[in-house]
Amino acid sequence: MSIDESARSEQIKNSICNFLNVIFCEVKNVSEDHIGHVNHSQDSHFEVIVVSPSFTGLSKISRHRMIFKILDEHFKLGLHALSMKLWTEDEYKNQ
């Protein structure tokens, strides 16, 4: 992972943590799994796991929309794909 890739991961994590009350947040760059795909770059594909009480009472779609809204600027700057696992603390404990 290059410094720039690590920086993008940290920027994504910081954006999420600055907006939500986060218990756990992990951001993983999986761009190397997409070499040869259209719109591929070194830091374009990520997976996130977020555990937050902010998700309580929200549907899966509402949670995803929340994260997409938080990361809107990142998508404008080259983030292409995001895989998300978004849980409340109770949901995470039951995984």
pLDDT value of residue 38: 55
- Six-digit token pair at 54? 């902010």
Domain span at residue 22? Answer: 3-93
Q: What is the pTM of this model?
A: 0.83
CATH number where 40 lies: 3.30.300.90
Of the pLDDT bands very low, low, confident and very high (cuts 50, 70, 90), residue 49 is very high
The number of distinct structural domains making up the chain is 1
pLDDT value of residue 45: 85
- Averaged pLDDT, 50-54: 98
Of 29 and 43, more confident: 29
Do the bridges between strand 24-29 and strand 81-87 make them parallel or antiparallel, or are there none, so unpaired? unpaired
Phi/psi-derived region of residue 2, left when phi > 0, alpha when psi is between -120 and 50, beta in every other case: beta
